[in-house]
Chains A and B, each alone.
Chain A
Amino acid sequence: MAIHRPCGTFDRTYYEAKAIFRTRLQWGMITALILALYGIAFVMNDYLLGLSIVIFSFIVAMLGIQIITGYAGQITIGHAAFVGVGMYVLACVEAHLGWSWWVGMPLAGIGAGLISMFFGSPSGRLKELYLAFATLAAHFIIVYVISNWESMTGGVDGIWLSRPEPLLGIDFMVEHNYYLLALTLCIAMIYLAKNLARTKLGRAFVAVRDNDIAAEVMGINIFSTKLLAFGIGGFFAGIGGAMYAGYNEYVNVEFFPLMDSIWFLGFLVVGGFGSIFGAICAAVLWKCLDEMATLMTPVFSQILPGLAFYVTASFSLIMYTLIIVIFLVLEPRGINHRWNIIKASYRLHPFAY
């Protein structure tokens, strides 16, 4: 949709042709949005701040699966486990080595990336459905190892950890300071992902997704490209997990059930395949719906006393599946495509096209 540009906008240099934001208005709008996001930290209450932090960490994790599945086309049903690896690497680094969150966070990303590469390595021989099986197996194996390696991970009891140490006099125990940290990290990761998609590697990912044999003929080493996709996607997942674990101050195997792996994949479709904006929308939608389901619990407990817990759980299961199926049938290209259509029709307003 890059062709549909505001009237009278031309590229006169390569620099302009490469730019993500092309007009002053776009620059102004994105700056205003970011400033607004930073600004509202000081007016939101702790509940909203907590929800936003969760959303930010899931945006980062969702960018990871967008790179693996959306850009490089390698289907993974183990993404929640990769996020979990990130959480546990951070927790173990803090608990056993006593290092701070600031060291643990990048290590979490690297650890999750390596694990993700390990379980993605069958992608050298397998594709599509078979790769889905391999990552499904990865999910169960990771969860088994984490819940049974008691000396390292504390088993099913989980590990308590601490918030990031104060930096430059900013105390991250205060909710809105952690929000600012999460927002900054999230913006940095979005910037990274957006630019990754425009590099040589990103283009190689897309080529592998669209037809891996053709990509190989074009001189792309598909195995290393696929492995890199898994590694980078896992890195994003690990950072997302570290952000979440740092906020929660506690990690547990229950935080990444198989269900979450499936929702990652499902909401990726809802957001839109192969677009950063789609991944952001997907994560926001998913976590807001999650929160809605939790908020409905008191309502359910009034209607069906005694069954409220199960009704809440099943309500979200049913609602998410219906949303995913409706999107797949009616708008397989996701929210991102719909949004592009809206933008284009606004620009072309009096004309249909």
Chain B
Amino acid sequence: MEQIIKLIVLGLCMGGIYALVAVGYVVVYKSTKVFNFAQAAMITVGAYALYQALIVWSLPIWAAVLFTLAVGVALGLLVERLLMRPLIGQPILAPIVVTLGLMLLLRGVILMIFGGQVYGYGEHFLPLGAWHVGFVTLPMIQVYAFIISMVAIFALIQFYNRTRMGLAMRVTHEDHVVAQNLGINVKRVFQYSWVIACVLGVISGMLLGNIQGCCVELDVTGLMAIAAILFGGLESIGGAIVGGLTLGVLQMLTIGYLAPLMPGEPIMMVPFAFMLLILIFKPYGLFGLVRIERL
């Protein structure tokens, strides 16, 4: 019993980051109807940008974080303008190929600049150490990561609900043509969505880089978050949060109970097996829109 509670608590902490990554996917998908596989690479970019600022340039924390966020914003603007805008209106395969390619492009750029070593922030970013709550030992970096993720998602929801741009974005989610008729600049909305997604990506990158270390394989963690979105439904931010937390718990339970029974690293495979199961039994997720097609 103690074991299971421990695993669930740790899983929720990890799930917070998955939720943050998953929301990044959802933001772009809702606005532009493009599924941004490159979100996975934004994580790596964020992790390495923070490493560059914090360790290599030894800036203070606030400056390093600001630099990383700025990298996220710049990346979002560049990607939207150079890659995605020329592809508006092309068949669905084009954006899939381009975002997958972008993922590998960013991986290539990072390999070129940093090489393939694994870097860590040490104690320069979030405080190390652990809290002991009853019988559960909580590593501080995990708890902070969970809190930061939730704050970021909360800020995003407030942005959607309270600001004029957020309203425009919600209209765009419904229908591009209607939004344009209402005088909303849909291209601007796309731009905002990409910037928001990239910023969320680099934030999760900072947190994941802190926990797992900076390496180019961080993008596989990003791909795992796709399982979270599928669980919640591709169009739902609430679903992404629920999915992320579920995925985190599921992964921890796997480490606790299945890992001794299975060879290798089932932690890598579980999210994808989970994803396949969801796709087979409930493809549009818990809160997703069921697509009805007609000729």
- In the complex the two chains form, is A320's CB within 8 Å of B283's CB? no
Interface status of A42 (Cβ within 8 A of chain B): no
1/0 per residue, CB under 8 A from B, across A284-320: the answer is 0000000000000000000000010111011111101
- In the complex the two chains form, is A328's CB within 8 Å of B223's CB? no
1/0 per residue, CB under 8 A from A, across B232-273: the answer is 001000000000000000000000000000111110110011
Pick from B97, B111, B230: contact of A314, CB below 8 A: B111
- In the complex the two chains form, is A134's CB within 8 Å of B279's CB? yes
Residues of B within 8 A of A141 (CB): 269, 272-273, 276
Q: How large is the interface on B (under 10, 10 to 19, 20 to 34, 35 or more residues)?
A: 35 or more
Tell which of B11-19, B85-93, B144-152, B199-207 binds the partner.
Answer: B85-93
Residues of B within 8 A of A138 (CB): 276
Pick from A213, A266, A317: contact of B107, CB below 8 A: A317
Pick from A130, A133, A148, A311: contact of B263, CB below 8 A: A148
Pick from B87, B105, B265, B295: contact of A328, CB below 8 A: B87
B contact face: mostly helix, strand, loop, or mixed:
helix
- In the complex the two chains form, is B116's CB within 8 Å of A310's CB? yes
- In the complex the two chains form, is A148's CB within 8 Å of B264's CB? yes
Interface status of A126 (Cβ within 8 A of chain B): yes
1/0 per residue, CB under 8 A from A, across B91-105: the answer is 011101110111111
Name the interface residues of A37-85: CB closer than 8 Å to any CB of B.
69, 75, 77
Chain A CB count within 10 A is highest, among B104, B273, B275, for B104
Interface status of A332 (Cβ within 8 A of chain B): yes
Residues of A within 8 A of B268 (CB): 140, 144
Name the interface residues of B107-140: CB closer than 8 Å to any CB of A.
107-112, 115-116
Q: How many Å from the CB of A236 to the closest CB on chain B?
A: 19
Residues of A within 8 A of B86 (CB): 329
Pick from A125, A137, A314, A320: contact of B101, CB below 8 A: A320
- In the complex the two chains form, is A318's CB within 8 Å of B97's CB? no
Pick from A134, A307, A324: contact of B115, CB below 8 A: A307
- In the complex the two chains form, is B100's CB within 8 Å of A262's CB? yes
- In the complex the two chains form, is B93's CB within 8 Å of A262's CB? no
Pick from A130, A136, A150: contact of B223, CB below 8 A: A136
Name the interface residues of B215-230: CB closer than 8 Å to any CB of A.
223, 226-227, 230
Cβ-Cβ contact count across A and B, 8 Å cutoff: 136
- In the complex the two chains form, is B276's CB within 8 Å of A265's CB? no
Nearest to A147 among chain B residues (CB) is B264
Pick from B111, B265, B295: contact of A310, CB below 8 A: B111
Chain B CB count within 10 A is highest, among A69, A310, A315, for A310
- Whether A318 contacts B109 in the complex (CB less than 8 A), given A265-B97, A266-B101, comes out as yes
Pick from B102, B116, B269: contact of A144, CB below 8 A: B269
- Kindly list 8 other residue pairs between chains A and B, CB separation below 8 angstroms, not including A130-B279, A141-B276: A122-B283, A125-B283, A141-B272, A144-B264, A269-B97, A311-B112, A315-B112, A325-B98
Residues of B near any A CB (own CB < 8 A) = 35, 83, 86-87, 90, 92-94, 96-98, 100-105, 107-112, 115-116, 223, 226-227, 230, 234, 262-266, 268-269, 272-273, 275-276, 279-280, 283, 293-295
Residues of A near any B CB (own CB < 8 A) = 69, 75, 77, 119, 122, 125-126, 128-130, 132-134, 136-138, 140-141, 144, 147-150, 211, 213-214, 217, 259, 262, 265-266, 269, 273, 307, 309-311, 313-318, 320-322, 324-325, 328-329, 332
Q: When A and B form their complex, which 10 residue pairs have the shortest distance between CB atoms, in order from nearest? A: A317-B108, A148-B264, A314-B108, A314-B111, A321-B105, A314-B112, A144-B269, A137-B272, A321-B101, A140-B272
Q: Name 13 A/B residue pairs within 8 A (Cβ), A-sorted.
A: A75-B96, A122-B280, A125-B283, A133-B226, A133-B230, A136-B272, A137-B275, A150-B263, A217-B295, A262-B103, A311-B111, A315-B112, A328-B90
